[in-house]
């Protein structure tokens, strides 16, 4: 169980850093991280970190699928963790 918690924390950190990186890339006009990649990290456990990153970096906040989808997915992940504990 400890390894799963560690992996969950790592995925959330990865999600947060991906949002920061994509925001910087957007500002500089560089190649962006695809929405598909962002969603894969979110689905694999990084939704809470990505939600925090979305708010911290003001990134993807106008995209309805991210604005509502990431927080809902984060709640689902937390509910799943609570069911496991």
Taking the whole predicted model, whether its pTM rises above 0.75 is answered as: yes
Task: Give the pLDDT score at 75.
Answer: 97
Residue pair 47/67 in contact by the 8 Å Cβ criterion: no
Task: Give the pLDDT score at 55.
Answer: 96
Q: What is the DSSP string of 42-79?
A: IIIIIHHHHHHHHHHTT-STT-HHHHHHHHHHHHHHHH
Task: Give the pLDDT score at 68.
Answer: 97
Give the integer Cα–Cα distance in Å for 44 and 47: 8
Give the integer Cα–Cα distance in Å for 22 and 33: 6
What are the boundaries of each domain within the chain? 2-84
* Per-run averaged pLDDT (10 residues), the chain, 85 residues: 92 98 96 97 97 96 95 96 89
């Amino acid at each position: 169980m400890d390894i799963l918690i560690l992996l969950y924390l790592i995925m959330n950190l990865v999600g947060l850093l991906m949002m920061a990186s994509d925001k910087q890339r957007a500002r500089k006009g560089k190649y962006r991280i695809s929405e598909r990649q962002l969603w894969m990290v979110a689905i694999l456990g990084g939704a809470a970190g990505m939600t925090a990153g979305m708010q911290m970096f003001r990134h993807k906040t106008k995209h309805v699928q991210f604005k509502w989808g990431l927080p809902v997915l984060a709640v689902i992940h937390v509910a799943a963790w609570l069911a496991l504990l």
